[in-house]
Structure 1
Amino acid sequence: MYDVLIIGAGIIGTGIARELSKYKLKVAVLEKDTDVANETTKANSAIVHGGYDAKEGTLMAKLNVLGNKMYEELCEELSVPFKRNGSLVLAFNEEEKYHLKTLYERGITNGVSGLSIIDQEKLREIEPNVDLKAIGALHCASAGIVSPWEFAEALIDNSVENGVELFLNTEVLSIEKNEDIFTIHSSSGDFKGRYIFNCGGVHGDLIHNMIAPPSFKILPRKGEYFVLDKSQGKRVNSTVFQCPSKLGKGILVTPTVHGNLLVGPDAQDMESKYDVSTTGEKLEYIKFKGSHSIRDINFRENIRTFGGIRAESDRGDFIIEESSVKGFFDIGGIKSPGLSAAPAITLEAMKLLKNSKIELIEKENFIKPRKHKLFMNLSSEEKENKIKEDNRYGRIICRCEMITEGEIVDAIHRPVMATTVDGIKRRCRPGSGRCQGGFCGPRVQEILARELKEKMENILLDKKGSYILTGELKK
């Protein structure tokens, strides 16, 4: 019997789990995938928005601004890379310049800090490579960039350290309630609990409908992206947008916290909640639009393309509420600026729980997150000491990102173990460079098999069924 069951281990589910782990509660997180942060959280623009785009008075507007202010402290505490690089919305004509004033006024109403409308001269001072036709921009100094999957992984690691139980490969099949107790029937068996947080992302409406009458619908919206090599990472310093449309914030060009360049996404309304394919036609459109913002992007330096699904709700705002079934809380429709708002969404979710009859008693012995850095970010002296402690830190496995065997072994044995090649990639970056695992992938697979005491052919790339090997060619 659990006090709280959380369905979904994306940025919201892991954030709520970490907050709950501060209290004397029995908590479980159920995730249908092989790892946490494996859907929308791993496939988005990785931006912490300032908060000028969301309409005044919405939850999006309120929680974007509040969440943005929480990022520095949280990321410092959790050892997650974060940078306030600022953002720009470009104007190419007088009509768009007028729209910048609308965004500016909305931002001021929403409480956004660091907003200003800048002219051509100031724009080129900030971004020398911006398109010469741009005549001005809205500058938001408080916007930032983050690593969303590393954030979610750090949240769940610290949650598990503090007693939360995580069940991967656990798909929710049905939910029922008898008296005051919920029973979740899953692919891993039954789970009983007093309260449920539905953090099911693009599947949130389906989860809701298992226990309550339909009250919202999630409309999947796909976006495709280019990830360019670090040789292109300094084309921009800020996150650069074009004027937004009714489908979203448009094609952006942004550096990543790890030094790459990200271009995208487009916006495609989908029927499937699973289709994350990319197409030549859409990528050509993204390339065209991205080049309209920043001059001379060398798309031949592209190292990966990917697609992600946003959880667009038919309500047009975040859904953070108790359903018609008491004790069942929906945290849904968390599209952009969902990542930006995530820390504040977590606190709003806690308010729902506090308004119920549950007793919340803080732990006296809450374990704070351990501090860690990538080996390549250590000083020469720190590297030397690390190698003396464990010579595996002296063996480079991924030459593109300079990731050592010691870091890979550490990632495997974190509180939430990495068990797949991409799980390792998300935690410490082997395979994230120019060769995309072409050289280091087999070695990472060997290390996983050795540390997990598994056969090589049992090690997956990522999701269920994503086998890499089927057996030996010859004995």
Structure 2
Amino acid sequence: MENQYDVIIIGAGVVGNAIARELSRYSISVAVLEKELDVSMGTSSRNSGVLHSGIHYKPGTLRARLNVLGNSMMADLCNDLKVKINYLGKLTVAQDEEEVKSLHMLKEQGLANGVPGLEILEKNEMRKIQPNVGGIKALHSPTTGIICPYSLTIALAENAHANGCHFYLGHAVTSIQKQDDLFEVNAAGKRFRSKVLINSAGLYSADICTMLGIDEYKIYPCRGEYLILDKRLDGTLNVLVYPAPHQGKAGLGIHLTNTVSGNILIGPSNEYQDDPEDYACTANIMALLRKEGHDLLPNLTTSDFIRSFSGLRAKQTPPGVGGFKDFVIESRDDIKGFINLVGIESPGLTSSPAIALMVKDMVEKLLTLEPKGGFNGIQSGITGYFHQLPDEQKADLVSQNPDYGEVVCRCEQITKKEVLDAISNPLGVRTINAIKYRSRAMMGRCQGGFCLPRIVQIMEKEFGYKPEDYLLNSRNSQLFIGKMRQELV
């Protein structure tokens, strides 16, 4: 029957795509349903991109165990998927003796979780790692790292797709029924059936539960706002710098975070929201982040702040409670075949490959999983971006394809070949944000002021795009509306 699968996954964030890739190793049919027109359009692209070491979570919890395991798996995964990663370490800094107690608590908790290399440093020792850092002591966690979260999410999806997984983008799930041994899922006016249904819908995971009559979960969206700093400051931070945690806070506090692209992030804030798609950046929080930035990096200038953005955490703890609740990852006894993931907030990115293994084990108790002979977990292409390659490799690529020699995005030094590859992505997504997230064009100082018109020309001349075809990210985000001028006759 058309649109019938062994497994359907709802949600194409980093966790859903990690599960899809893991299951694509086996001789079963797998589909992913995603309400947005591309993967990684929600929480998975709107976060700090930090690979956490595992110091922040209570021993014995899923968060703690999957965080440490996922951290240990990430280097090999990123090597296979050609995703840039850097384990640069983190200093969690105490400003007074009360906060020093928090550092000792974190160290004990981390050691219990199996986090290697933890050490509490005196002021002179921590300043050898990060000159001019404030505070009186710091906990050093060397296995903390950074990654591009949307690059990983996209790579997981594209590799799963290459290994036979079907992606249905722009397919919001509207209803679910269980009929005999099959789930019937309605999405975008189509009917899908599967033996196993996996809920990886993030901010909407409780809504999916409700469709199946499960009312024990509730998600409280919690917004974190960020500022992005110009690459002029690349090299300012040798490690990530976090404040010591305070009991009951919804996040880990405002901090400075390196990115693998060379920018620095300031944030995130923590404000509960009613709307799971309220990605506003607010004047009061932007002012707070600027102040924090100036306090930590006194040489900052106004022109160093090049962009703001926000993301939403899928928290299970309501306003007034804050803190963290453990992940829900369960194979339901009352609804056989339903594997339910709820409240996968931080460290969901770090935990994603470990979560995928855990879910695979659950699926294996429901279906026979025979390894697929033709599975290929290695992505082709280069790691990172053309401008980061050695000159000899650049020259070789230009000789093979002259489009590598034409720069389209001056700020990020992104070439025409990279833009063409982004437009021609395996998932068939041609929104402006799809090109942006796959190539990094439009992410520099001018935020697309120079390169966006050139990208529009490429899409028009080489792909036949008309003005009404250009979308930023969703069906209701037209780039061009109406005529700019009436041609003279």
TM bracket (short chain): over 0.9
Question: Does structure 2 conserve the Cα–Cα contact (< 8 Å) formed by 1:445 and 1:456?
Answer: no
Q: Which moved more, 1:373-382 or 1:258-267?
A: 373-382
Distance 1:420 1:190, change over 3 A: same
Aligned to 1:335: 345
Is residue 94 of structure 2 the alignment partner of residue 91 of structure 1? yes
Aligned to 2:364: 354
Aligned to 2:453: 442
Question: Does structure 2 conserve the Cα–Cα contact (< 8 Å) formed by 1:242 and 1:252?
Answer: yes
Question: Does structure 1 conserve the Cα–Cα contact (< 8 Å) formed by 2:17 and 2:153?
Answer: yes
Structure 2 residues without counterparts, runs of 5 or longer: 318-323
RMSD (Å), alpha carbons: 1.4
CA distance in 2, matches of 1:468, 1:392: 26
Is residue 211 of structure 2 the alignment partner of residue 199 of structure 1? no
Q: Which moved more, 1:233-242 or 1:449-458?
A: 449-458
What are the Cα deviations for residues 112-168 of structure 1, in whole angstroms up to 9, with x where unaligned?
01210001001111111313xx11100000100000100011111111111111111
Is residue 416 of structure 2 the alignment partner of residue 416 of structure 1? no
Is residue 469 of structure 2 the alignment partner of residue 466 of structure 1? no
Q: Which moved more, 1:55-64 or 1:386-395?
A: 386-395
Cα deviation for residue 90 of structure 1 reads 0.5
Aligned with 1:341: secondary structure?
A: helix
CA distance in 1, matches of 2:429, 2:239: 32
Selected match of 2:403 from 392, 397, 403: 392
Cα deviation for residue 290 of structure 1 reads 4.0
CA distance in 1, matches of 2:112, 2:73: 19
Aligned with 2:314: secondary structure?
A: strand
What are the Cα deviations for residues 402-450 of structure 1, in whole angstroms up to 9, with x where unaligned?
1111111112223223401111111110011100101101211222344
Aligned to 2:328: 319
Cα deviation for residue 342 of structure 1 reads 1.1
Aligned residues: 472
Is residue 367 of structure 2 the alignment partner of residue 366 of structure 1? no
Cα deviation for residue 322 of structure 1 reads 1.7
What are the Cα deviations for residues 288-330 of structure 1, in whole angstroms up to 9, with x where unaligned?
3344444434453111101100011248111100233111111
1:208-223 matches, within 5 Å, as 208-223=209-224
1:254-265 matches, within 5 Å, as 254-265=257-268
Aligned with 1:348: secondary structure?
A: helix
Structure 1 residues without counterparts, runs of 5 or longer: none
CA distance in 2, matches of 1:216, 1:29: 23
Aligned to 1:12: 15
CA distance in 2, matches of 1:419, 1:127: 42
CA distance in 1, matches of 2:100, 2:301: 28
CA distance in 2, matches of 1:79, 1:472: 42
1:81-160 matches, within 5 Å, as 81-131=84-134, 134-160=135-161
Question: Does structure 1 conserve the Cα–Cα contact (< 8 Å) formed by 2:220 and 2:272?
Answer: yes
Is residue 197 of structure 2 the alignment partner of residue 185 of structure 1? no
Cα deviation for residue 380 of structure 1 reads 2.2
Question: Does structure 2 conserve the Cα–Cα contact (< 8 Å) formed by 1:199 and 1:331?
Answer: yes
Question: Does structure 2 conserve the Cα–Cα contact (< 8 Å) formed by 1:233 and 1:256?
Answer: no
What are the Cα deviations for residues 349-384 of structure 1, in whole angstroms up to 9, with x where unaligned?
11111122x110111111232142321122223222
Aligned with 2:119: secondary structure?
A: strand
CA distance in 2, matches of 1:240, 1:78: 28
Question: Does structure 1 conserve the Cα–Cα contact (< 8 Å) formed by 2:37 and 2:429?
Answer: no
Question: Does structure 2 conserve the Cα–Cα contact (< 8 Å) formed by 1:129 and 1:295?
Answer: no
Selected match of 2:29 from 26, 31, 43: 26
Aligned with 2:111: secondary structure?
A: helix
Question: Does structure 2 conserve the Cα–Cα contact (< 8 Å) formed by 1:409 and 1:451?
Answer: no
CA distance in 2, matches of 1:342, 1:297: 35
CA distance in 1, matches of 2:289, 2:347: 20
Aligned to 1:162: 163
1:273-352 matches, within 5 Å, as 273-314=276-317, 316-323=325-332, 324-352=334-362
Cα deviation for residue 188 of structure 1 reads 4.3
Cα deviation for residue 389 of structure 1 reads 2.1
